[in-house]
Amino acid sequence: MSAGLTASDLSCRRDERDLFAGLSFSVRPGQVLLLEGGNGCGKTTLLRILCGLRAPDGGSLSWDGAPAPNSDYLAQMAYVGHADGSKKELTALENLRFAQALAAPGAYTLEQALARVQLAGFDDNPVQTLSAGQKRRLSLARLLVCAKRLWILDEPFTALDRRGVALIESLIVAHVAQGGLAVLTSHQDINLPQVDLQRIFLDQCH
């Protein structure tokens, strides 16, 4: 059985034009797939297909050798999109508690996760009082409190300063070092030392 995520001959059309066609790739445990390309080339649309939020116009996905998305795939997948996905009226700690209630507990406690993303001391702060960068780090802290093998991240470095970018890069490196997988988009150069990094330029996939 083939472990990980495999896409075979994916295609997607929008407004009578191909965003991408004949797209095939595989992401195995310990690997990161970086999707690159200009605005409107289909990066976010492809991530939505991987998350099961949109069906491809052609092709198929498999997870650990079985057709996906299926219940096991959805249970093992975590998605962080453009929006932070936090409840603004809840505190940072309450948001993490809510996220953990919907999944198996991860390797970090709620307090440890906040400390890991440099939000120690902000446990009881309502999310609406946090800066844009702090909100982004909180959204990524959800990955630490939930046990998920596959991280799907849409522009995870948005609103982060250089220190924040380095922090998230370190989280991704640690995740794949433990056998996890990640698929992400980014307009920034990224630094993932000693990671098996694949790149797909979607501008070329039509």
Mean pLDDT of 13-25: 90
Domain boundary assignment for the chain = 5-204
State in words which class domain 5-204 has: alpha beta
* Strand residues in 37-167 grouped as ranges (E): 58-63, 66-68, 77-80, 150-154
Whether the pLDDT of residue 123 is over 80: the answer is yes
Q: At what angle do helices 92-101 and 132-145 cross, to 10 degrees?
A: 30
* pTM value surpassing 0.75: yes
Q: Token digits for 182?
A: 């990640």
| CA 179/CA 195 separation, integer angstroms | 11
- pLDDT tens-place string over residues 128-175: 999 999 999 999 999 999 999 999 999 999 999 999 999 999 999 999
- pLDDT tens-place string over residues 43-100: 999 999 999 999 999 999 999 999 999 999 999 999 998 888 899 999 999 999 999 9
Residue 142 contacts by C-beta under 8 Å, 6 or more apart in sequence?
78, 80, 85, 95, 96, 99, 113
pLDDT score, position 40: 83
pLDDT score, position 206: 59
